[in-house]
Chains A and B, each alone.
Chain A
Amino acid sequence: MISIPMEFGLILAGTLFVLGLIGLMVRRNIIFVLMSIEIMINAAGAAFIFAGAKWGEPDGQIMFLFILAMSAAEVAVGLGLILQIYHKFQTLDGDTVSKMRG
């Protein structure tokens, strides 16, 4: 039986989330932006796991399962968009698609 301070787990989840947020704001390459979003989603799921472990209930793990399904769907669509952007503009700069016309 091990015992871990609850706030340490939540601080870990918050740290991972903030690192993903920094990556999201700093990088311009859309592949890196998508990877930062993955980091943030994973950190949010980790917070659910820690909360579920605190109360000893499986509900936190079930929320993580839903987050996992959502993240898989998001990655599939996002990578399809990245491929289309690269074929159309020959660059991975996110700023090139800031104008939505045609």
Chain B
Amino acid sequence: MEILFYIASIVAVVSTIMVITRLNAVHALLYLVVSLLAVALIFFIIGAPFIAVLEVIIYAGAIMVLFLFVVMMLNLGKIAVEQERRWLSPGIWIGPAILSLILLLELIFMFAHSSQAIQATMISPKEVGVTLFGPYLLGVELAAMLLLASIVGAYHLSKRKKKAKHRFMEETAE
């Protein structure tokens, strides 16, 4: 069973690397879906089946499809890929990549000294639900308000301004 965890984590890291290096947005989104599925498998292995299901349904299902809708609505073609190629000249990778990798190595160095094991005990959805609607009830209500605000905000932001109020007023309207 442990080998599944390591294989899934390698898949997650490799597909995430593919996400940040692709030129075509749709290809990157498909790799991101693969990465999220791998992370969901990891969650399932370490004993969080409810979160694994939510990761597949909400992240890989809903949010990524939202991204795909927007990419297809913008209708980016070959021109966008060429533009990406011009923006991504080889030199600009070096600085951010090296600095971030230094931070990652420091993190690994810090973790390398401790040795604790995760004993994967299954935490059932019932247990999660009881805790969610018990001590964390206020957080649930705040999350609901946040989602409501984001619905209103997204509707307001993605609304296109009307050019003219009436077809006969088209010349005067500005």
Contacts and interface: CB of A to CB of B under 8 A. Distances in A.
Instruction: Across the A-B interface, give the 4 residue pairs with the lowest CB-CB distance, nearest first.
Output: A23-B20, A80-B157, A73-B150, A7-B111
A49 B119 CA distance: 13
B133 to A, nearest CB: 10
Q: Which of A19, A50, A93 has the most CB of B within 10 A?
A: A19
Interface residues of B, number: 81
A58 B123 CA distance: 7
B101 A31 contact: no
Contacts, number: 226
B132 interface: yes
Contacts of B2: 2-4
15 contacts: A18-B100, A18-B103, A27-B20, A39-B32, A49-B48, A52-B48, A53-B47, A54-B116, A56-B123, A57-B123, A61-B123, A72-B63, A73-B150, A77-B154, A93-B87
Contact of A7 (B20, B71, B114): B114
A53 B25 contact: no
B169 interface: no
A80 B73 CA distance: 12
Interface in A1-34: 1-12, 14-16, 18-23, 25-29, 31-32, 34
Contacts of A82: 70, 74
B40 to A, nearest CB: 10
A10 B143 CA distance: 26
Contacts of B132: 58, 62, 65
Contact of B42 (A10, A12, A87): A12
Interface in B1-43: 1-2, 5, 9, 12-13, 16-17, 19-20, 25, 28-29, 32, 35-36, 39, 42-43
